[in-house]
Amino acid sequence: MAKRQSVTSLELSPDEERKQRMIRYSIAMSIRTLCIILGVLTQGFWMWFFFAGAIFLPYFAVVLANAQGPSRSRGQSGVIAPKLSVKASEANLGDDR
């Protein structure tokens, strides 16, 4: 009998993938908010550094949240389901009683 495909080799559900992207994006936007606050409270080089982070972080947050493929770190294997092939001479189309 052929070995069955493992459940761990399945992709994440769309809901789970969306949830992970939203978490990554929310973390990035929290860092952006912190950059804006620190940019207002500081002067000189640090002010420009924090405002640059607040300006460019949304682009990188979207790219990282959406462009990242599925993670294989959860024990997912590269198992591919075997294809079943039957020769025409071996096929049994009826009941041979």
Please, what is the average pLDDT of the chain?
Answer: 78
Of the chain, the percentage scoring pLDDT greater than 70 comes to 67
Could you tell me if residue 89 is inside a domain?
no
pLDDT of residue 89: 76
pLDDT of 87 higher than 80: no
Q: d(Cα 41, Cα 33) in Å, to the nearest integer?
A: 13
Could you tell me if residue 56 is inside a domain?
yes
Could you tell me if residue 3 is inside a domain?
no
Could you tell me if residue 37 is inside a domain?
yes
pLDDT of 2 higher than 70: no
- Residues 32 and 58 sit within 8 Å (Cβ to Cβ): yes
Domain that holds residue 40: 32-65
Could you tell me if residue 74 is inside a domain?
no
Domain count within the chain: 1
Q: How confident is the model at residue 3 (pLDDT cuts 50, 70, 90)?
A: low
φ/ψ of residue 28, rounded to 5: -65, -40
pLDDT (tens digit per residue) in 30-53: 999 999 999 999 999 999 999 999
Q: Which amino acid is at 24?
A: R
Which residue is associated with the tokens 């590269």?
Answer: 78
Which residue is associated with the tokens 């990242």?
Answer: 68
Q: d(Cα 62, Cα 32) in Å, to the nearest integer?
A: 13
Q: d(Cα 90, Cα 85) in Å, to the nearest integer?
A: 10
Could you tell me if residue 49 is inside a domain?
yes
pLDDT of 20 higher than 90: no
Could you tell me if residue 58 is inside a domain?
yes
